[in-house]
Amino acid sequence: MASTTNHTPPLLDLTIDNITENVVRINSQSSNARLNYLMERLVTHVHDFARETRLSTHEWMATIEFLTKTGQMCTDVRQEFILLSDILGLSMLVDSIDHPKPPNCTEGSVLGPFHTGDAPHLPIGSSMSTDAAGEPMLALCTVSDSSGRPISGVKVDIWETDSSGHYDVQYANRESPSERCIMTSDVDGGFWFKAIKPVSYPIPDDGPVGKLLQLLNRHCWRPSHMHFMFEKQGLDPLITTLFIRGDKYETSDVVFGVKSSLIIDLGKVDEETATKYGVPVGALLLRHKFVLASTEETEKLRDKNAMEAMERLGLKTKLIDHLPVPDLD
């Protein structure tokens, strides 16, 4: 298309001190006020970063190479940029901003790079694991709203690693999904399934992000956990994780995802439960009540938090589609 525009401001003789305002100006020509705001903040922060660090050409080139390798490490089943966002705490921060939780609702956690779109829909009571080496675990869960009313028909996406700490997509010869499934909550808001006890595992450390962690003298481990994602019209989508108490990485999760309220104790299946659910007596038992916020509850809270934060930052903004843009009125 290579079209020209008539309203380009003259840009010439840009220096360390005047380049930012000029780049911001030329990036403010869209009719999308939100895009203009995002670009203004992005350019300001990127330039400030370079000025505050006196970024060298050598460091700049190393960054270009790092980003290139990160993109090229991504495949249909591996997302290295999400991993980067995770280890920088950005993923958790964005989730906290976009999905604030009203009191008593289940808190969120990172999506992580291993959610896939191809998990099989399984009937309640199924086993989501095919790993015979894993420690059998029965999960009995419910979904309710913030007033305690059960919610039926919620789509629940569940995924975990196998007993060796690998997701199915980490195997080159993966033919079909395993250790993952989608269930739908029943009329009482219940869903239950057979799985294996989660184990702690290192995030993939054979790519650029793994190398960065090494340089930073950081470990690459996540405490043992199981992922859950909940969706239903009218509910704010919940992406969360349950962590097994006592894991040695509980307070040093490489992606910053652990919250006290998400750490759970596993019980043991008693005789009655064993008979009822068809599992061995003494098998591990995960019981959890998930509490979901409505879209309306979350939007109200998000808007309130946003306006308060903007005020604290001294920024004069208004919300359009629940997202801040400069208020020029």
Q: Considering only residues 29-58, where is the footprint of its own copies by CB under 8 A?
A: 29-32, 35, 37-39, 41-43, 45-57
Q: Between residues 95 and 297, which has the closer beta carbon with respect to its own copies?
A: 95
> Binding of its own copies at residue 81 (CB under 8 A)?
yes
Tell the smallest beta-carbon distance from residue 65 to its own copies (Å). 8
Q: Nearest distance from residue 264's CB to its own copies, in Å?
A: 14
Edge-to-edge, what's the strand order for the sheet holding 263-264?
Answer: 180-184, 155-159, 225-231, 238-244, 263-264
- Check binding of 3 to its own copies (CB under 8 A): yes
CB of 229 to its own copies, least distance (A): 12
Residues with Cβ < 8 Å from 13, sequence gap 6 or more? Answer: none
Residue 72 binds its own copies (CB under 8 A): yes
- Per-residue binding letters, 9-28, with its own copies (x by CB under 8 A): xxxxxxxx--xx-xx--xx-
Q: Are 221 and 167 in contact (CB under 8 A)?
A: no
Pairwise CA distance, residues 325 & 50, whole Å = 25
Question: Which DSSP symbol is given to 124?
Answer: T
Q: Tell me which stretch binds its own copies (CB under 8 A): 126-134, 176-184, 187-195, 242-250.
A: 242-250
Q: What is the total count of residues that contact its own copies (CB under 8 A)?
A: 100
**Residue in 121, 174, 218, 304 binding its own copies, rule: CB under 8 A:** 218
What CA–CA distance (Å, rounded) separates 39 from 28?
Answer: 8
Contacts of 321 (CB under 8 A, 6+ apart): 34
Nearest approach, Cβ of residue 241 and its own copies (Å): 13
Read off the tokens for 202: 């290192």
Compute the least distance from the CB of residue 213 to its own copies, in Å. 9
Q: Which is nearer to its own copies, 86 or 168 (CB)?
A: 86
- Measured from the CB atom, the residue of 27 and 152 that comes closer to its own copies is 27
Query: Following CA atoms 81, 180, 124, 99 in sequence, which dihedral angle do they give, to the nearest 10 degrees?
Result: -10
Instruction: Write the DSSP assignment of 293-322 as a string of letters.
Output: -BHHHHHHHHHHHHHHHHHHTT--EEEETT
Which residue in 188, 315, 320, 327 binds its own copies (CB under 8 A)?
Answer: 315
| Residue among 136 and 257 whose Cβ is closer to its own copies | 257
